[in-house]
Amino acid sequence: MAHIVIDTCGGREAGAEALEAAAIASLQLDHQLTLVGDEAELTGKLARIAHDAERLRVAHAGDPVDPEQDLRAALAGRTSITVGLELLARDPEAVFISAGPPALIVAAALRTLGRIPSVGRAALAAVYPTLRPHGPASDPFALLLDVGATIQCTSEDLVTFAAMGAAYAAKISSIERPRVALLSNGTASSGAPPRVRDAHRRLLQGPPGFEYVGCLRADHVTSGDADVIVTDGFTGDVLLRTLEGIAATGELLIKRAAEKFQWRLGVQMLGDGIAAIREFTDWENYGGAPLLGIDRAVIVTQANSGRRAFLNAIRLGVKIDRLKVLEAVAAGVAALRTKES
Amino acid sequence: MNGQGEHDEANEAPTPASETVTPEQITADQVLPDEAAIEEVAPAMVPPLDEIIANVSPEGITQVAAPRKLVHLRWDLDKTYLQTNFDSVKDLVKTFWQKPEDKATVAGAQALLQSLMDPADRQNRRVTFISGSPRQMRKVLMRKLCLDGVEPDMFILKPNLENLLRGRFRALRGQVGYKLKALLLSHMAAETVDEYLFGDDAEQDAFIYSLYADILAGRVDAVRMAAILSTCKVYRHDVDEIMAYHKQLVGSGDVVRRIFINLDRRSPLDRFAAYGARVIAIYNYFQGALLLFDAGLLSARGLVGVLAAMATAGYTPERVANSVQDLMRRGFVQPPALAKISEAIDEAERAVERPARYFLQKFEEVVAGLGTLTRSPPPWELDINYLGLYHEARFHRQQHRWLGIRLLD
């Protein structure tokens, strides 16, 4: 049985939707859930919604999370993030889910929790939909890491991210030998920065457990040519935001099209297709980004996550615990180190 | 069909005058006039009335239950004591034909009831079951209770066949008229000091039990009572009887100490807030056992017994600890009381060798997670708006009927 620790101070409606998702999960799933936040406020809100108190527990965190606050001061307080991560440190089976500021979560996680042996930096791994499905279960999502945990990476970090991402995808999407690519400005590595060139050279030597397919341009990210795409945190964050921005712009364009009667008719006729695309590109379906490289499961969801995003993050957390994904990631990194030495 | 608030007399057959019962007609060893409805199961265990009255001090009526007082436990059966599924006609038929040994009890209910009816204290306890199940199920249900080692003093079942034959179709589903009448009737039939009522959130138990408690406490006068019965569309015959009992019993004593509502449907807690602290919605019977232990009604050994039964039913220490924390957060259990409870469980565990130690460890974790929580319990509600609550409950029922039970409402 997994233990899901949920930060109820982040997400849509000041965490109210995170609480609702937890209440629904308590009724639908047979797992222990701990809500972290202001106890009096949470108890008051819980009384108004159907939930199963046998599966829910509250851990009090009195200090508010302020995204503008200095990182050091935020780490010193008793915020929902620091309290939640303390709970995580005490329970190896726990999974922490938060929609708080990613930088604060990563910093607090690195301070409170241990790292996987021989992993220098952590990586946030986000999924995004691609045209070609992945694995035997035809998983529509590919993995992109890092998307914001480590802004500046060395080639060593990129190779480690490749091993971690491949191990994660192998477990979550049941892919026997995931195809891994490095994000670059061309298919040849010659024009890439030195860290990418060096990582490319090391990965070409035949890493264990996954297939390296070379460098991949950003316009091929959604094609599905690779199951795992590796990049540094800065580039990954920019790429992910761009993809989400394009999807949001598409939504707006459809709404704008409805302004003219004839176009509205056309949009109505395409209604089912548009709904399918919307469902496909909706980030709330992805569940959040796991922080890889830490010896506990931490899932970071977007700041404006709603009920559905939190519910999917809870389901992802349960899956990570059930499939022993963290052990697989640690084993993947260990195999890489053995091969390299 | 009449409009809301009127009695449907067209569907109602005339009732013989002899069926109306006055309290003078009922004595301790007399079979009640509605003999099929109320059965005295173990009259030998009931002490003489004089002895009961002699053991009860007048001031004891307003005190919280203490040992050696006569305590009446009134239980609903389906979804409160028995795990019953009435969601479809198939379930209903299955329940009807189910063998006694196949009927399952709600986790911890049997252990709690057995502990409350401990032979050492049995002479001070009365147990009444008031169920909405048809009288035709009496044999099966009695057999089930017998298998569980539970011997009720009274066992009241609903005359559904009679209601059907008389064309009283509303009474088949309605509970207010039937249960209120049964509660008042059985109250007259037994001398009581303190009463503890157990129901569930599937029907209107919180409403009916609170109304019953307020009638006894003298908080519902005849005019208000008539208005409530009229709104609840109770048949004229039942209204007449209930009003007669009301006249006899109104203001006879504020004896209902607690009303426990088993959250079988996991209804939101706020739905019971209007009833005040007397109604406590519980997620499991360990919560009930804790509160009864705190009130001095249940022994530490009994508490450990309930804990053991819950563990056998598959409850993990985490689930039990979560429900303890839930009571603490709602202000029903204070951290010092929990420390006493832990001590008592520890003590009792050493005597009976039950593995409660891991549970205690989890309780401590739960308390630690809350920091320095001190919360007072909710207030005791003295002026309940029954008409408003009835309409609200009706709205929720209709919403559930047409839209299904919403997870967030």
Beta-carbon separation of B319 and A54 below 8 A:
yes
Q: Is A166 exposed, middle or buried (0-12, 13-18, 19+ CB in 10 A)?
A: buried
Burial class (CB in 10 A: 0-12, 13-18, 19+), A194: exposed
Enumerate residue ranges in chain B where pLDDT < 50.
1-67, 407-409
Closest chain A C-alpha to B333 CA, distance in angstroms: 14
Q: How much is the pLDDT for B67?
A: 43
Contacts of A1 in chain B (CB under 8 A): 316, 318
Contact across the interface for A51 and B266, Cβ inside 8 Å: yes
Tell me what pLDDT residue B12 has.
37
Cis peptide bond prior to A146, omega within 30° of 0: yes
| Residues lower than pLDDT 70 in chain A | none
CB contact under 8 A, A60 and B273: no
Pairing of strands A56-60, A211-217: unpaired
Asked if B369 has any chain A CB less than 8 Å from its own CB, the reply is: yes
State the pTM of this model.
Answer: 0.83
The token pair at A70 is 């200095």
pLDDT of residue B371: 62
CB B157 within 8 A of CB B134: yes
Give the pLDDT confidence score for residue B203 in this predicted structure.
81
Residue B380's pLDDT is what? 83
Give residue for tokens 């002895």: B51
* Structural domains of chain A, with CATH: 1-119+293-323 (3.40.718.10), 120-284 (3.40.718.10)
pLDDT score at B22: 39
Q: Which residue of B has its CA nearest to A43?
A: B329
From the list A39, A48, A55, the residue facing B373 with the nearest CB is: A39
Q: Residue B137: its pLDDT value, please?
A: 87
Burial tier of B90 (Cβ tally within 10 Å: 0-12, 13-18, 19+):
exposed
For residue B321, list chain A residues with Cβ-Cβ distance below 8 A: 57
Interface A-B, measured as beta-carbon pairs within 8 A, has a size of: 79
Query: Could you report the per-residue pLDDT of A294-330, keeping only the tens digit for each?
Result: 999 999 998 889 999 999 999 999 999 999 999 999 9
Look up the ipTM and state it: 0.85
A114-142 per-position pLDDT tens digit? 999 989 999 999 988 888 888 888 888 89
For residue A48, list chain B residues with Cβ-Cβ distance below 8 A. Answer: 268-270
Of A1, A32, A59, the CB nearest to B369: A59
Chain A residue closest to B317 (CA)? Answer: A54
Those of residues 338-367 in B touching chain A at CB distance below 8 A are 366
Q: What is the CA radius of gyration of chain B?
A: 21
Burial of B254 (0-12, 13-18, 19+ CB in 10 A): middle
| DSSP structure class, residue A120 | -
Own/partner long-range contacts of B9-16 (Cβ < 8 Å, ≥24 apart) = B9/B236, B11/B166, B11/B167, B11/B168, B11/B169, B11/B170, B11/B235, B12/B166, B12/B167, B12/B168, B12/B235, B12/B236, B12/B237, B13/B166, B13/B167, B13/B168, B15/B237
pLDDT of residue B179: 93
Residue B260 to chain A, least CA–CA distance (Å): 16
